[in-house]
Amino acid sequence: MSKKKKILLFSILIMMILFLTACNNQSELKKVEDNAFLMDTLVKVRAHGNGAEKAVKESIDQIEAIENLMSKTVTKSDVYKLNHNPKKEIIIAPETMVVLKKAKKYANLTAGDFDPTLGALVNLWGIGTKNPTVPQPSAIEKALKNTGYQYLDLNEESAKLTQAKVKIDLGGIVKGYAADSVRKIMKKNEVKHAFVNLGGNVLVIGDKVDGSAWKIGIQDPRKGRGSVMAIVAAKDMTIVTSGNYERYFEENGKLYHHIIDPKTGYPAQNNLLSVSIISSSSFDADALSTSIYVMGLKKGMKFIETIDEVEAMFITKELDVYLSSGLKELVEIKNKDFNLIEGEYFAN
């Protein structure tokens, strides 16, 4: 055998050894997972790597801390203090202020289709509680007079509700903030592969241990959790879904879901079953999934197409699926009941 051939074979052998070693190292990465019931939902955090155990514990603790700061029912929270001390300046924790400012930003950006001051309406309907009810029109009109993001006054370190009976409810954005906080914890602990699920708000960090993309299922809105109608290939990405199947009740044969239209005071009435937002920021995606659902297909699609690096998937009651322009290579429809609609339908 010539000297050149020996060198070539030796080089190939070394490369194979390095490749196999790398595969073994990846497959042997420590996996840590924990679950907790926080923010009125089941939270799952999974991480791989040497820093996984610390990262997962810190993540669960951080989500609980965020809940204690921003829950409307925790008596020591910033939101509770705001809601129960109208027209008074309340000192706010920096983390809460970040969420309040982002919430007000999206309220302005969506012309009120997202509104963090829907507490009076949310309480009135009681959807997700033991005793939901269809309120009288007069009660809804009264509650509408006690909503409006213009009544939320934010300063550097304090906030104030300028009208009595206005109530803050951050349920449409706080889980997104929590997910992005977990991302920071994972990065700090040098975790490169992680999966986070906050009741349907899904965040994946990096790729899977084997180097492939995460496969995130989009729930079939006609069925319960675990029923998948499409798969999204994801890496360093978040997927947040809002739909009429998440929390609802039925009365006299009519379904009433929890996504309240701030302009009418009733559950948003459009032809949508669900909207999924795909983005790098869970914080933004959370607010967008709610507001885009309220907007409906045509207005919502136009809005999404104006935002860089944010995509959306709409499912209508006819089981038609509409994808924003950047999603077409990432989504695979798995259920033949659903019909992918293609074309520039959002341009007009």
- Binding site membership for Mg(2+): which residues? 172, 286, 290
Q: Decide the pairing of beta strands 331-333 and 310-316.
A: unpaired
- Rounded distance between C-alpha atoms, residue 286 and residue 39, angstroms: 14
DSSP state of 260: B
Q: In this structure, what are the phi and psi dihedrals at residue 222, rounded to the nearest 5 degrees? A: -85, -10
Per the rule left: phi > 0, alpha: psi between -120 and 50, beta: everything else, 284 is: alpha
Q: Residues forming the annotated binding site? A: 172, 286, 290
C-alpha distances out from residue 51 to 35, 149, 183, 190, 296, Å: 18, 41, 13, 6, 42
- Rounded distance between C-alpha atoms, residue 199 and residue 197, angstroms: 6
Asked whether the beta carbons of 263 and 286 are under 8 A apart, the reply is no
- Both tokens of 345, joined, read 């339908």
Q: How many CB atoms lie within 10 A of CB 121?
A: 24
H helices within the chain, ranges in order? Answer: 3-27, 52-70, 78-83, 94-109, 119-125, 137-144, 174-188, 282-295, 297-304
Per the rule left: phi > 0, alpha: psi between -120 and 50, beta: everything else, 97 is: alpha
Helix (H, G, I), strand (E, B) or coil at 227: coil
